[in-house]
Amino acid sequence: MKIEFEAIIPVVDSGRLLMEVPAKAAAKLEKESSQKVNAIINSKTYSCNLFYKEDRFYLHITRGIKRDVGLGAKTVFTIEIIDNGGGTEDDIHDQVLKWEIAECKALMRKVGIKTNDRVIDFGCGYGHYTIGCALALEQTGEVLALDCDKKALKWINEKEKMYMLNNIKTIHTNGEATIDFPDNSLDVILLYDVIHIQDKKSKKSLAPVLYKEAYRVLKRGGILSTLNFDSDIKKMTVENEDRRMTADDIARDIIDSGFSFSHAVDGGVHFDWYHSKYRLEKGLDFSDLERGMIQNYVKRM
């Protein structure tokens, strides 16, 4: 069976695309939670996952699509349903989406996120943690997803629609380490896989400024949740000291910035390989992604 429709391509990343199927075309589709389909655009065939959720369908082209396909322009799509004999095997794209809505939500609860909290996901990227966070808030509170990459924020907006959430606000910045919120106004700050980022001009680590800003904007007892991976830590050097940084150095810097260590939570995932076209083409599996411990701190008086 083939279904044709016109739609605007909202965002493309690492050869992938995520978008809602317009209602008229969706009405012709079988309501299965996940199906493997082909999408044909300009005579080119792309392999896709088609998700069904609460009366809407979402098309996830999982590889090979380029930005020059017509980003932001009205495009004709043909969806071809593949007869897969009734069974679909989870690929890494299914697994990532499932991780975001189930495991990450549980993870965020263990971090200490509770209903009505206001949370900042600083350097949120494609929102792997933003979604779990928004779900852990149970449609209350607010996740402020902040990044200097507009494309990543657009991807989050699509996912927010797909998961029918209404408590995410994306914030585009020019790359400053400042967090543009009043003193003592936030409950939780996530600094996940961002501690290694550097100021574009000085090439110095933004981490010390971020810890200072986190201390300023968090309420007393607010949570600073960090996630760093061994592969990054071993590349970083300690300023003014000719040696590599360790996880202990990071913990000491955070404690010196006015926080106390609270608890660690196992289960952080490093998504950088998932955003590498090269790795995806080589056949990446979810289990290949690096894992790390989330370290939580609370703001001292």
Please report, as ranges, the residues that interact with ligand SAM according to CB under 6 A: 123-125, 128-129, 147-149, 152, 173, 175, 192-194, 197, 206, 271-272
Shortest gap between Cβ of 132 and ligand SAM (angstroms)?
Answer: 11
In this structure, the dihedral spanned by the alpha carbons of residues 101, 106, 112 and 117, taken in order and rounded to 10 degrees, is 30
Compare residues 175 and 221 and give the one whose CB is closer to ligand SAM: 175
Cα 2 to Cα 6, 23, 28, 29, 55, distances in angstroms: 14, 16, 10, 10, 20
Cα angle for residues 150, 121, 90 (degrees, 5° grid): 80
If one counts every other C-beta atom within 10 angstroms of the C-beta of residue 237, the result is 12
- If DSSP codes are grouped into helix, strand and coil, which group holds residue 178? coil
Compare residues 27 and 102 and give the one whose CB is closer to ligand SAM: 102
Shortest gap between Cβ of 74 and ligand SAM (angstroms)?
Answer: 29
Shortest gap between Cβ of 251 and ligand SAM (angstroms)?
Answer: 19
- If DSSP codes are grouped into helix, strand and coil, which group holds residue 205? strand
Q: Report the residue closest to ligand SAM, judged by CB.
A: 125
Shortest gap between Cβ of 130 and ligand SAM (angstroms)?
Answer: 8
Compare residues 232 and 253 and give the one whose CB is closer to ligand SAM: 232
Shortest gap between Cβ of 199 and ligand SAM (angstroms)?
Answer: 7
Compare residues 59 and 210 and give the one whose CB is closer to ligand SAM: 210
Rounded distance between C-alpha atoms, residue 206 and residue 224, angstroms: 16
Shortest gap between Cβ of 294 and ligand SAM (angstroms)?
Answer: 11
Compare residues 112 and 132 and give the one whose CB is closer to ligand SAM: 132
Cα 186 to Cα 10, 20, 28, 183, 218, distances in angstroms: 31, 32, 45, 8, 5
Q: Which of 47, 148, 122 is nearest to 89 (CA)?
A: 47
Compare residues 97 and 197 and give the one whose CB is closer to ligand SAM: 197
